[in-house]
Structure 1
Amino acid sequence: MVPLLTTPLPVPHGFTTRLGGVSEGPFASLNLSAATGDDPKRVEENQQRVLATFGHPPVAGLKQVHGTEIRLVEGPGVWEGDGLLTRTPGLLLRVGVADCYPLLLYHPQGAVAALHAGWRGVVGGILPKALALLEGLGLDPKEAHLAIGPGIGGGCYQVGEEVAGVFQQAGLPTFTPDPKAPGKYLLDLEKALILQAKRAGLKEERIYRVGLCTHCEPTLFSHRRDQGKTGHMWGMVMLPR
């Protein structure tokens, strides 16, 4: 079975690593995206290995655009956007990442969501928007559970003054000056996400972190560390059948 990173999120879910697949070279070994330049047949085999761990369910996926649009879906398919939300049991939601954060939400009254959050998604409020969407469905967002998968950590994610300024303006001052690079900042996206979750009323005991930095951890793909020549991982969640 393909190894998955999991959290206490009380529904079937997981975050893949780069282990357990058949891809080679910079894509070794569990690359899940054919858009990277990897052999599509190897990618298909990798995907099937991952889906086998969930019993080969129908899958809803995304053509991600680094935005904040969240699609409410009832069945399998591929949508343009950066988030999926469903109330359909047995439908697996998946997002692809290689430094951005995969976020998984579960509501005890029967809803799950998968979100892709890079810096634009975080500062644009994709997480608060997902919680507002739950509220629009008549579900109390304060009762939601949140799992934050691996992403580039605050000690590794260097940004310029412009990006830091956008976070400051958004009330998310989760950055510090980079002591090794004048005019640059180290941005902590996970800290910003947790701040947003708590502001929305999520209880701290329902916020779960994998706590791994993609840039530091060699068993994870990292777009920045590998200078763009790398694979993609998945974050996945579904309501039990």
Structure 2
Amino acid sequence: MLHSPLLEVPHGFTTRAGGVSPAPFDSLNLGLSTADDPANVQENRRRVLALFGNPPQAGLCQIHGNLVHVVETAGEWKGDGLLTATPGLLLRVSVADCYPILLHDPVKGVVGALHAGWRGVVSGILPKALALMTSHWGSRPDDIRVAVGPGISGPHFQVGPEVLELFEQVELAFARPDPFHPGKYLLDLERAIRTQAQREGIRPPHYWALGRCTYADPAFFSHRRDQGQTGRMWALIMLPGP
């Protein structure tokens, strides 16, 4: 389990180590939507949740968009982001190349978890979540911490001109031509996320990125590298329980 030095609440980013699943899902696969044996996935989930004291959980049926929910109870919501001020409620998102983003406002006592693939980034899931924290709880950008977990890095994230055009429209096209594939581009998604955070008033000391690539680093699952035959990781965060 990996952690951010910015976040002073229980949280973590899982890797692929520490579970019971066989290859190609070895070993801490947390995705029930994969072809792994569900019994393996449930045991892997049990191990992760035990680290947090088995609290009630809020999860997502992820749709690669920018829909963010304010939640107060355990359950599952359709969308790609969760925010809560409920102590003891564990938020989680699932990833395997997309970027997990964890949020914490220590002043207002709010946490959030976002699933940010390229569609979520270009449609502004992070700015939307930050605006919702402000409107719902009165959070100030100066106070919010943003922690970005492992995701596919620019040198390995190839996109076509139609995707690049969408990022150009919102001035987030941090890309260069792919030297080995004419007409394709290598897009730096984490830089786009960081730029969005800065535009929304997040102070540089309050932004942290792990800086490890799911595609290049065998410690992580990668949907693109493994051509879909791979597991899923979680990013989790909660306010301490009463």
Q: If the length of structure 2 is used for normalisation, what is the TM-score? A: 0.97
Give the AA of the match of 2:160.
G
The aligned residue for residue 178 of structure 1 is: 178
Give the AA of the match of 2:115.
H
The aligned residue for residue 54 of structure 1 is: 52
Contact preservation (8 Å) 1:132, 1:141: no
Instruction: Determine whether 1:110 maps to 2:109.
Output: yes
Distance 1:175 1:88 in 2: 39
The aligned residue for residue 207 of structure 2 is: 207
1:75 Cα shift? 1.0
1:142 Cα shift? 2.9
> Per-residue displacement from partner, 1:9-68 (whole Å, max 9, x unpaired)?
111110000000000011110000111111011100000100011111111000000010
Q: 2:73 aligns with which of 65, 75, 85?
A: 75
Give the AA of the match of 2:3.
T
> Per-residue displacement from partner, 1:182-208 (whole Å, max 9, x unpaired)?
110000110000000001010111111
The aligned residue for residue 122 of structure 1 is: 121
Give the AA of the match of 2:113.
A
1:212 Cα shift? 0.5
SS of structure 2 residue aligned to 1:230: coil
Q: 1:34 aligns with which of 25, 32, 35?
A: 32
1:141 Cα shift? 2.6
- Provide runs of 4+ in structure 1 moved above 2 Å: none
> Per-residue displacement from partner, 1:112-137 (whole Å, max 9, x unpaired)?
00000000000000000000001102
SS of structure 1 residue aligned to 2:121: helix
Give the AA of the match of 1:42.
N
Moved more, 192-201 or 6-15: 6-15
Give the AA of the match of 1:103.
I
The aligned residue for residue 155 of structure 2 is: 155
Q: 1:63 aligns with which of 56, 61, 64?
A: 61
Distance 1:45 1:62 in 2: 20
- How many residues are matched? 238
Percent of aligned positions with the same letter in both sequences? Answer: 60
Runs (5+) with no aligned partner, structure 2: none
Moved more, 105-114 or 136-145: 136-145
Contact preservation (8 Å) 1:71, 1:84: yes
> Per-residue displacement from partner, 1:45-100 (whole Å, max 9, x unpaired)?
00010001111111100000001000110011111000000000111100000000
The aligned residue for residue 20 of structure 2 is: 22
RMSD of Structure 2 on Structure 1 (CA): 0.7
1:139 Cα shift? 1.5
Runs (5+) with no aligned partner, structure 1: none
1:149 Cα shift? 0.3
Q: If the length of structure 1 is used for normalisation, what is the TM-score? A: 0.97
Give the AA of the match of 1:74.
E
Distance 1:87 1:120 in 2: 27
Contact preservation (8 Å) 1:134, 1:141: no
The aligned residue for residue 144 of structure 1 is: 144
1:179 Cα shift? 1.3
Give the AA of the match of 1:189.
L
Distance 2:237 2:112 in 1: 7
The aligned residue for residue 192 of structure 1 is: 192
Give the AA of the match of 2:188.
D
